[in-house]
Homo-oligomer: A and B are copies of this chain.
Amino acid sequence: MPQPLRLGIAGLGTVGTGVLKIVRRHESTLTQRAGRPVSVSAVSARSRDKDRGVPLEAFAWEDDAVALAKRDDVDVFVELIGGDTGPALEATEDALALGKDVVTANKAMLAVHGQRLAELADANGATIRFEAAVAGGIPIIKALTESLAGNEFTRVMGVMNGTCNYILTRMENAGLPYDDVFAEADALGYLEADPTLDVGGIDAGHKLALLSAIAFGTQVDFDGIDIEGIENVTIEDIEQAADMGFRVKLLGVTQMTGRGLEQRMSPCLVPANSPLGQLENAMNMVVVEGDSSGQIVLRGAGAGEGPTASAVMGDVMDLARGIRTPTFGQPAASLRKATAARASAPAPFYLRMQLEDKPGALAKVAATLADAGVSIDRMRQYRHEEPSAPVLIVTHRTTRAAIDDAIAAMGQPA
């Protein structure tokens, strides 16, 4: 029997526990598929005594993730601690420096330090695998990096934060305002300790930054993403959008334009009968557009013990089989620095504004948009509330830059 692949798992929350369960439950299947056993040598976590529903006696215990990563009996360091600094980063660096492969679910760490860590991995003959970091159980990293490696990508987009999608679909289905559903989600434990990570679009932005690097061969550029969260989406927006045949989704889009890489994460109107429009609750979906493949859509659970542990195990099984693609699909030194092309790809835009209820207000808006070169597809004034009237506008395809110009001009005296 060939040597087992020996894991050291740091972090025993739901995902780490899920990985331990799979390794135990499917021991013989994993061995048959990988051609060698997959075993766990050691684990570390904040509390040793917590009951996780899975026995830990068979594994060595380390209080310190760094010590775990350095152990001689650990071939692969599985980082499930989280956070973009601290022990997760330190232990990852130490593992890579020793030439050990790292499997991680840590999107924040890779979005911030991805380029440096990928270079460190390359320099030491190691690789970082992070299927679990993006869209939970959906195998999007492998699809982009390997299955679709014969394509030039034109665009990648997706709904990659289940909490936001839950909030938006719950608002629509129950007709509830944002604040009520936010409170519900909080009570259900769906929100991160800092909820801005979710509803502010940061977490989904981290994921988008990783997809961009693979798809376009660019260095991870989280700072280059235009991020807008869902905090300002109102129930009126959702109801009006539904009335026009759309749903509101926190959509990430990355595409290479003539002016550079455009990455945005923002609430978008998508056709209600499209695959993205039909995505309900905490599900995730990623849409890849390749020049040969055409549009490939992947859908699945974006979080949770099973789906995320499944993604971690996919990476572990690859390493057990000797599959060691470079971190972002090509040597880190060959990744180009991205030029952030903000607001340049044309799209239709949705605007909601409160207009003073006096003659000429609407005319001024229309004229200002026209001056900025923005043409109007639909406009509706949907409720009359003295002293102001809410107006919705859906534009034809234009750029965010033109929209920003028009909005700035609207603030000026006529």
Chain A positions near chain B (C-beta within 8 angstroms): 18, 22, 25-26, 29-30, 32-35, 131, 137-139, 142-143, 146-152, 217, 273, 275, 278, 290-301, 304, 306-307, 309-314, 316-318, 321-323, 325-326, 329-331, 334
Q: Residue of B at shortest CB range from A19?
A: B150
Of B217, B293, B295, B310, which is within 8 A of A148 by CB?
B310
B314 touches A150 (CB 8 A): yes
A292 touches B306 (CB 8 A): yes
Q: Residue of B at shortest CB range from A299?
A: B297
Query: A30-B150, A139-B296, A146-B321 known; 17 other A-B pairs, CB under 8 Å?
Result: A33-B329, A35-B330, A35-B331, A142-B142, A143-B143, A146-B323, A149-B314, A150-B310, A150-B313, A292-B309, A292-B313, A293-B300, A294-B307, A296-B298, A296-B300, A322-B322, A323-B323
Quote the shortest CB–CB distance from A149 to chain B (angstroms). Answer: 4
B297 touches A149 (CB 8 A): no
B295 touches A300 (CB 8 A): yes
Please measure, in the bound complex, the distance between the C-alpha atom of A149 and the C-alpha atom of B33, giving whole angstroms.
7
Complex interface: chain B residues within 8 A of A151 (CB)? 26, 310, 313
Of B35, B150, B310, B325, which is within 8 A of A293 by CB?
B310
Quote the shortest CB–CB distance from A24 to chain B (angstroms). Answer: 12
Complex interface: chain B residues within 8 A of A295 (CB)? 300-301
* Minimum-distance CB pairs A-B, first 8: A150-B313, A139-B147, A292-B310, A293-B310, A149-B317, A292-B306, A297-B299, A137-B293
Please measure, in the bound complex, the distance between the C-alpha atom of A312 and the C-alpha atom of B292, giving whole angstroms.
11
Quote the shortest CB–CB distance from A295 to chain B (angstroms). Answer: 7
Q: Residue of B at shortest CB range from A38?
A: B150
Quote the shortest CB–CB distance from A247 to chain B (angstroms). Answer: 14
Quote the shortest CB–CB distance from A14 to chain B (angstroms). Answer: 12
Complex interface: chain B residues within 8 A of A290 (CB)? 137, 310
Please measure, in the bound complex, the distance between the C-alpha atom of A29 and the C-alpha atom of B29, giving whole angstroms.
36
CB contact under 8 A between A317 and B33, given known A294-B306, A323-B325: no
CB contact under 8 A between A150 and B316, given known A291-B306, A293-B307, A298-B297: yes
B152 touches A296 (CB 8 A): no
Please measure, in the bound complex, the distance between the C-alpha atom of A413 and the C-alpha atom of B273, giving whole angstroms.
50
Complex interface: chain B residues within 8 A of A18 (CB)? 292
Complex interface: chain B residues within 8 A of A309 (CB)? 150, 292
A296 touches B299 (CB 8 A): yes
Please measure, in the bound complex, the distance between the C-alpha atom of A217 and the C-alpha atom of B152, giving whole angstroms.
34
Complex interface: chain B residues within 8 A of A292 (CB)? 18, 22, 137, 306-307, 309-310, 313
Please measure, in the bound complex, the distance between the C-alpha atom of A325 and the C-alpha atom of B297, giving whole angstroms.
24
Of B30, B149, B316, B325, which is within 8 A of A313 by CB?
B149
Complex interface: chain B residues within 8 A of A148 (CB)? 139, 310, 314
Complex interface: chain B residues within 8 A of A313 (CB)? 149-151, 292
Quote the shortest CB–CB distance from A78 to chain B (angstroms). Answer: 12
Quote the shortest CB–CB distance from A77 to chain B (angstroms). Answer: 18
Q: Residue of B at shortest CB range from A273?
A: B278
Please measure, in the bound complex, the distance between the C-alpha atom of A306 and the C-alpha atom of B150, giving whole angstroms.
10
Complex interface: chain B residues within 8 A of A146 (CB)? 142, 314, 317-318, 321, 323
Complex interface: chain B residues within 8 A of A310 (CB)? 148, 150-151, 290, 292-293
